[in-house]
Amino acid sequence: MHSRRTVLTTAAAVVAAVGPTGAAAPAPATSAAPLGHRPPSPATRARLRRLISRMTPEEKAGQLFVMRVYGHSATDPDPDDVAANRKEIGVANAAELIAKYHVGGIIYFGWAHNTREPHQIADLSNGIQRAAAAQRVPVPVLISTDQEHGIVARVGAPATLFPGAMALGAGGSREDAGTAATLAGRELLAMGIRQDYAPDADVNVNPANPVIGVRSFGADPQAVARMVAAEVKGYQGAGIASCAKHFPGHGDTDTDSHVGLPYIHHTAEEWERLDAPPFKAAIAAGIDSIMTAHIVVPAFDKSEDPATLSRPILTGILRERLGYDGVVVTDSLGMEGVRVKYGDARVPVLALKAGVDQLLNPPDLSLAHAAVVRALADGELSERDIDAKLMRILLLKDRRGLFAHPYTTRRAVDRVVGIRSHLAAADRIADRTTTLLRNDAGILPLSRRRERRVLVVGYDAAAPTGTGGPPTTVLAKAFTELGFTATALSTGLSPGRPQIDEAVAALAARDAVVVATYNVTADSSQRQLVAALLATGKPVVQLAVRNPYDIAQLPGVKAALASYSWTDVELRAAARVIAGRRDPAGRLPVAIMRADTPTTALYRIGHGLSY
């Protein structure tokens, strides 16, 4: 079901829509304990306490860190990866990282060459666990990654790639969200990845948000909450830890916390209405971990410390008011939003004092690790508090089977990863997500008789991880497989006059054009491209391949759709809709505001046309 309640989605409009402001504290959660999994037995706690008691301060400090490491292998990465590791971390490989710093977690990235292909990923995971087992105090490593799907996917094909959060929000099916998370979780588990930093629990109420956007399920807090809960249950039902992010909510920002320090100016009451519901739903669903946001919320912390370093937010609200006692992990400590106020040596200590358990990806691990050890030695961090954090982390690892079964196999990969039934499920789910925003004069669907020759132009970034190529290439191939004669022509993110003229000339010999647009702004030259194509009189179909707001900047377009991502599974689904092979079933999970009057909705939440 889609909410058709009016939700205004500029930052100012949201504040105006939520009613009287105030400084009331958030209401306590109805339950102080997460649901969804059984509490650990006394025997389990006793076993883990004995493990903690054997650790030195250096080992305890190390267990609190989740770190990047370059290389496709735990012991024998490429020379370039060894050089990068030595420069950034002071070790050669993952095994040395574990031996020197006793890290409790490792995060995989494509750019760190950790995720080349599924068998290699499984081998890397096993190598990491063997290195952990060789330690004086053997503790399995919690291997994690950001596999949100859509525009954020660290593991590419042949693993199955599902539609991203906003596409799922457009589909509106909790069953689809749960299925996607379940199948994705099974594949990650087979590769030895035991934690996914997903789902994104932010409510994207600001169209200008530069970092969340389609990573969010939408702008309706209750709808987002339902989808978050479904994905939490899906991932954790598949046997891996889920992580809701970014607490207390990154949806109403116009600054990217990777490069600056965003502010959220919601009152406590507004936060309760707009930002809190998805996190409450995640906690009720038994979420294993919650990630912090590097954002300032003055309504909750007058010091204007980012939430990652704020005890009033992490302990006062998340722990005490919402009753959450799972693992709290920081967003990357290399992001500028958490570094602007304090030095890199102070940030880890302040985060732990605020209520954090895991410290993710500090820019200088040696400095950060030494700072935590020093704070333990001088009493700024109490051993009792650190032991409580370690207990939460170890309980998560135990719950996810790492102590009993830390390894995977290549056979497990072959049985699960990228299998035909998973790929078919991804296509079926994607078929329910494409949103038809405008179809004046019945331009769509395109006919193989009337518009047999199709030109595909527009945005082409570097092909995302594990995809079939740039967006125009993927779309052209999809149209060809549907019986059209299709040609791809990349015009880029900022087409100049030569690219625009080339596209117009190419259209002269075609019957219709599909133009893939990407976050069109008032001064974007993509507007000139679309205007020039419209001036030819040929049918023009505009497909927004990231945020769905592009149509507000393109008033002359008569046929417009949103795919919410440029990944293969969503582009193929969009092609099927454009070709009339599938009825457009997606409904907007955010409002699209008018460009000339941004407080007025051009299309409201729930809008979507059918054939």
Q: Which residues are catalytic?
A: 258, 331
Using DSSP, state whether 49 is helix, strand or coil.
helix
CA distance 312 to 318: 9
- Asked whether 277 and 225 are in contact (CB, 8 A), the reply is yes
Burial state string for 409-418 with b = 16 or more CB within 10 A and e = fewer than 16: eeebbeebbb
Please provide residue 465's backbone torsions phi and psi, each rounded to the nearest 5 degrees: -50, 125
**Edge-to-edge, what's the strand order for the sheet holding 453-458?**
435-439, 559-562, 540-544, 512-517, 453-458, 485-490
HSE at residue 174, side-chain half, CA atoms within 13 A, is 13
User: Cα 151 vs. chain centroid, distance in angstroms?
Assistant: 8
Read off the DSSP letter of residue 54. Answer: T
What's the token pair of residue 307?
């939430």
Distances, alpha carbon 228 to alpha carbons 159, 234, 450, 501, 546, in Å: 22, 10, 43, 45, 20
CA gap 213, 201 in Å, rounded = 12
Alpha-carbon span 547 to 166, nearest angstrom: 9
Identity of the residue numbered 112: A
- The owner of tokens 């299925």 is 179
At which residue do the structure tokens 């954020």 appear? 152
Most distant pair of Cα atoms in the chain: their distance: 78
Residue 246 main-chain phi, psi, to 5 deg: -120, 110
The encoded tokens of residue 382 equal: 């109490």
CA–CA gap between residue 218 and residue 204 (Å, rounded): 6
Q: Is the peptide bond before 248 cis (omega within 30 degrees of 0)?
A: yes
Give which of 401, 319, 403, 305 is closest to 349, Cα–Cα: 305
